[in-house]
């Protein structure tokens, strides 16, 4: 179930595009992608289990209660009805339906498809007791079989040799791949899906904390391992495809053309099944998680009504188009992803600084200052003066990791301040 919840359309698209662009540097770029695309989600789930918290809000609330609420709302909206959920519908249409409609199509096919797609999402989401069985017993095995078939052909009958790397992959392949992993949103989703898995384990009668954490760890490692294998296979697919199909604009086009190369017309049908299953499972998981959280935040609105509301909103945003959705999500992801990473690290080191809130506050504040301007730089707002300054004074800023040193400095300063103003540590 956990693997199926994580594995959406973006997890298919981005590795394939990375492989094409990285070429001969595919292995190092893929390794960077695995760190953020598979490793961070693993750590996010484990962090939630280690913390003993029941939800993201209480975990983020270790920084400050207000921060806990604001950060959690922003994260849920980002991986929910504003970006990730609509993307599941739009990408499904782009890869499973649009290739069969020709070049000139109106808005109507996308509208009809998204209505059906999110109606099905809504139906499954309002029956959460059946979600584990539906996803775990049926959809996941079918999806894995389809992917395995494609991977076997790619490995034993590669389309061509690796080509020279392009652009940023020439000298910074690892770190470029590292940042590409952000686009999956899986490290953010880990805080959400981890709760679903922990609750599913509890529903099976497991209440002992140590046993629960052990089972959670096993699930996380299995899911991350499968993700890593598939990411590597898809990156290899992209890297070997250039000689035959040339450079495609998106990873979606890479997959469509590669499937057609190996299977002809059947390739499109095969790819359509893969995408629809991957997107549907992710969409259901996200709607379920978002509706559950906002029902807890606003008990006056029922879970069922929230699931319907989020499904309708997602269907509406999906009709904006894939390119527009991605462009809108980049600034937000750039701003909040480093905060999520720092929160994971602080959770694992919580006992070392005795859970002092000042450490959380200093580290998160300094991280946010840098990541905020990184996010703004991806918008029409001109912040070049600030970003140029950061580039001159912050180590690793040129490779997108300029927030690391400020996060450490903020944690140290926070700890010093906490010693000057002793307080009871947070739990």
Residue by residue, pLDDT tens for the chain (427 residues) are: 788 778 777 788 889 999 999 999 999 999 999 999 999 999 999 898 888 887 889 999 999 999 999 999 999 999 899 999 998 999 889 888 888 887 677 789 999 999 999 999 999 888 765 655 566 567 667 777 877 888 888 889 999 999 999 888 998 899 999 988 988 899 998 888 787 788 888 888 887 778 888 888 888 899 899 999 999 999 999 999 999 889 887 787 888 888 888 888 777 777 787 788 778 878 887 898 899 889 999 999 999 999 999 999 999 999 998 778 878 888 999 899 999 999 999 999 999 999 999 999 999 999 999 999 999 998 989 999 999 999 999 999 988 899 999 999 999 999 999 998 755 555 5
CA separation for the pair 89, 235 (Å, rounded): 23
Which pLDDT does position 425 carry in this prediction? 53
**pTM greater than 0.95:** no
Q: What is the pLDDT of residue 1?
A: 75
CA-only gyration radius of the chain, Å: 21
The residue among 8, 54, 43, 37 whose CA lies nearest residue 195 is 54
Q: What pLDDT is attached to residue 207? A: 75
d(CA 296, CA 192): 14
Give whole-number Cα distances, 191 to 53, 66, 93, 286, 422, in Å: 11, 18, 28, 11, 30
Give, as one character, the DSSP assignment of residue 103.
S
Per-residue model confidence (pLDDT) at position 211: 85
The conformation of residue 97, written as its DSSP 8-state character, comes to: I
Q: What is the pLDDT of residue 363?
A: 97
Q: State residue 355's pLDDT score.
A: 93
- pLDDT by residue (tens digit) across 31-88? 999 999 999 999 999 898 888 887 889 999 999 999 999 999 999 999 899 999 998 9
How far is CA 142 from each of CA 93, 103, 168, 281, rounded to the nearest angstrom? Answer: 20, 30, 36, 12
What was the pLDDT predicted at 374? 93
Angle made by CA atoms 22, 93, 83, in degrees to the nearest 5: 70
What distance in Å separates the CA atoms of residue 59 and residue 88, rounded to the nearest whole number? 28
Question: Given this model, what pLDDT does residue 390 score?
Answer: 95
Among residues 246, 258, 265, 321, the alpha carbon closest in space to that of 13 is found at: 258
């Amino acid at each position: 179930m956990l693997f199926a919840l994580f594995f959406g359309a973006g997890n298919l698209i981005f590795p394939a595009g990375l492989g094409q662009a990285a070429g001969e540097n595919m292995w190092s770029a893929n390794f960077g992608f695995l760190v953020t695309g598979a490793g961070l989600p693993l750590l996010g789930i484990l962090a939630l289990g280690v913390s003993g918290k029941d939800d993201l809000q209480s975990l983020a609330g270790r920084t400050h209660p207000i921060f806990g609420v604001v950060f959690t709302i922003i994260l849920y909206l980002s991986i929910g009805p504003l970006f990730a959920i609509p993307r599941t519908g739009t990408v499904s249409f782009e890869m499973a339906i649009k290739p069969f409609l020709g070049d000139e199509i109106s808005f109507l096919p996308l509208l009809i498809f998204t209505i059906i797609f999110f109606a099905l999402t809504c139906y499954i989401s309002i029956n959460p007791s059946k979600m584990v069985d539906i996803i775990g017993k049926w959809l996941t095995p079918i999806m894995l079989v389809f992917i395995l078939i494609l991977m076997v052909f790619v490995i034993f009958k590669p389309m061509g040799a690796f080509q020279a790397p392009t652009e940023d992959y020439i000298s910074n392949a690892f770190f470029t791949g590292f940042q590409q992993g952000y686009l999956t949103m899986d490290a953010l989703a880990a805080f959400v899906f981890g709760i679903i898995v922990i609750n599913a384990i509890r529903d099976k009668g497991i209440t002992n904390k140590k046993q629960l954490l052990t089972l959670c760890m096993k699930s996380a490692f299995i899911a991350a391992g499968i993700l890593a294998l598939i990411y590597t296979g898809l990156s290899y697919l992209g890297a070997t495809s250039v000689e035959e199909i040339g450079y495609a604009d998106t990873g979606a086009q890479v997959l469509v053309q590669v499937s057609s190369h190996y299977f002809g017309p059947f390739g499109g049908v095969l790819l359509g099944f893969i995408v629809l299953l991957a997107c549907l499972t992710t969409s259901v998981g996200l709607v379920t998680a978002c509706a559950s959280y906002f029902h807890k935040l606003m008990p006056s609105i029922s879970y069922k009504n929230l699931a319907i509301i989020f499904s309708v909103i997602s269907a509406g945003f999906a009709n904006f188009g894939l390119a527009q959705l991605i462009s809108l999500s980049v600034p937000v992801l750039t701003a909040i992803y480093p905060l999520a990473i720092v929160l994971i690290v602080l959770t694992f080191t919580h006992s070392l600084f005795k859970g002092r809130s000042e450490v959380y506050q200093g580290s998160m504040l300094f991280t946010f200052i840098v990541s905020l301007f990184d996010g703004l730089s991806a918008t029409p707002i001109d912040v070049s003066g600030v970003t140029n300054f950061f580039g001159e004074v912050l180590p690793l800023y040129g490779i997108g990791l300029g927030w690391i040193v400020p996060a450490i400095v903020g944690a140290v300063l926070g700890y010093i301040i906490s010693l000057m103003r002793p307080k009871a540590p947070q739990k």
